[in-house]
Amino acid sequence: MLLKKLQLKTIDFKFALTICFFLFLTPIITAQEIIPDVVAQKPVEAPTGGKLKIDGIIATVGDYIVLDSDIDKGFLEITAQGGSIKDITRCQMLGKLLEDKLYAHQAIQDSIIVSDAEVRSMMEDRLNYMTQQVGDINKVVEYYKKSSVEEFKTYFADILKEQKLASEMRDKIVKDVEITPEEVRNFFKKIPKDELPTFGAEMEVAQIVVEPKISKEDKQKVIDRLNAIRKDVLEGSSFATKAVLYSQDPGSAPNGGYYKMTRRTPFVKEFKDVAFSLQAGEISEPFETTFGYHIIMVEKIKGQEVELRHILIAPTVSEAALKEAKERITNVRNKIVGNEITFAEAARTESDEKETRTNGGTLVNPTTQDTRFELTKMDPTLYSQVSNLKGDEVSQPLLNTDDKGKKTYKLITVTNRIDEHTADYAKDYTKIKELALKEKQINAIAKWFDAKIKDTYIKIIGEYKDCSFANNWLKK
């Protein structure tokens, strides 16, 4: 039935997520012409050990090929990450590889462009993560059986580019898929009562945030520093090098401050306003956002897309300012506890957090865009702050430091608690809408595969012709 159908498709998504890291290993080889049935020459070890098998091309999708060893590498990688390969067949693994090859192939046909700068940015992020996991970049190189860091980077760049092409193609397929309230209602009605999903315990949370006040002198020091950096760049210094050395934005500093953005990219308004006011090659004056002070240099403008570099420096918060902020928020808490004002009223009049103060401090779940937080999926830091609060208890002042080092004090309270329950249309509309939309997106992707498989050169060789695939790769 309908929910079972969705659950089966969801299992496919879980499978895809399980092997997503394995895709980093899959070699990308671009063919300029269609590749005939050939058996390659390199022996590889089977994932379970024991006898060797001959590696070779087992499938072609457009200009991309799949080797038999790609499947083995998939099993090895899942095992290395602690996963189980017991229920994953070679045919399933090949099916996932074929999907990604078709995504990437069609992305090129649709003129989707992935720039070298994007690939470099992705590579830095992945290499930083890998290095953190194993402790040394040379161990990463050794694991991938490459002779040098440079050889590994060249190899890895191709993999990341294909992955990004596939991601962009998937996004393009589903970006215009929308769901109406009537479709959500019909989706829910079709679910048999004994198959209704169960939603875990949830809570709604509100907070009041007080930011330490920064003196004009401390702000001016940062502005002067950014102006000095700007002057150096105008005189010939590298903006990217300055960003690596001085920017306090952990997301972009390792990549020389690089970002690619459109007007729909989720940056703060002040940042986007400046970015889209500049010409290529121009450097902004220092300007302020909630994160601190920035300068931006625009590198390229492609239609509605801008490639830029930026440097962020936040003014230092003094101990005196922190002490003053704590005293201020303590006074707010005393008024709430003494019933002089409600938490929601205090949030509207006293909180420095623009995003929450207008709705009484209520937090929005960034994953679901709902106000509810499922306990088992809640951010560990937030959970630790609210788990021991009783009833409508207000926390003591909490010193919070975000991922950019910005310090604030906050009060937090639980405004609503929802026990584990069977799905209810009225109470759980947002979650039901999400399920209905996911099914519609899955159907859109399935329809896309049906059409593109018919129009694309696809060839599967040898024993894999006997596979039973979810998609019609064999064109029967």
User: pLDDT for 41-79, tens place per residue?
Assistant: 334 444 444 444 445 899 999 999 999 988 887 787 677
- Note the pLDDT of residue 302: 87
353, 354, 358, 359: CA torsion to nearest 10: -60
**Element housing 340 (H / E):** none
Give yes or no for a contact between 22 and 74, defined as CB atoms under 8 angstroms apart: yes
Summarize the confidence of residues 450-473 as an average pLDDT.
93
How does residue 129 score in pLDDT terms, banded at 50, 70 and 90? confident
Range from 122-131, 181-190, 252-261, 387-396 that averages highest in pLDDT: 181-190
CA 275 vs. chain centroid, Å, equals: 23
Contacts of residue 163, defined as CB under 8 A and 6 or more positions apart, other chains included, come to 23, 24, 100
Amino acid at 416: N
Distance between CA atoms of residues 431 and 341, nearest Å: 33
Q: Which residue has the higher pLDDT, 290 or 27?
A: 290
Looking at residue 152, its pLDDT comes to 85
For 281: left if phi > 0, alpha if psi spans -120 to 50, otherwise beta; the answer is left
Q: Which pLDDT value is given to residue 144?
A: 74
User: Is pLDDT at 103 greater than 50 in this prediction?
Assistant: yes
- Taking only the tens place, the pLDDT of each residue in 245-286 is 999 988 889 889 999 888 888 889 999 999 999 999 999 999
Question: What is the per-residue pLDDT for 80?
Answer: 63
Q: Which of 15-19, 47-51, 301-305 has the lowest mean pLDDT?
A: 15-19
Q: Is the pLDDT of residue 25 over 50?
A: no
- Residue 109 binned pLDDT confidence (cut-offs 50, 70, 90): very high
pTM over 0.85: no
Order the strands of the 305-313 sheet from edge to edge: 258-261, 305-313, 292-302, 287-289
Task: Please give the Cα distance from 318 to 323 (Å, whole number).
Answer: 9
Q: What is the pLDDT of residue 300?
A: 92
Mean pLDDT to the nearest integer, 319-330 = 95
More confident residue, 147 or 210: 210
> Which tokens hold the place of 12?
């496919």
Label residue 33 by pLDDT band (50, 70, 90). Answer: very low
Residue 22 has pLDDT above 60, yes or no: no
Q: What is the mean pLDDT of residues 195-199?
A: 92
Nearest-10 Cα torsion for 39, 40, 42, 43: -20
- Cα Rg of the chain (Å, integer): 27
pLDDT of residue 190: 95
Whole-angstrom distance, CA of residue 190 vs CA of residue 2: 7
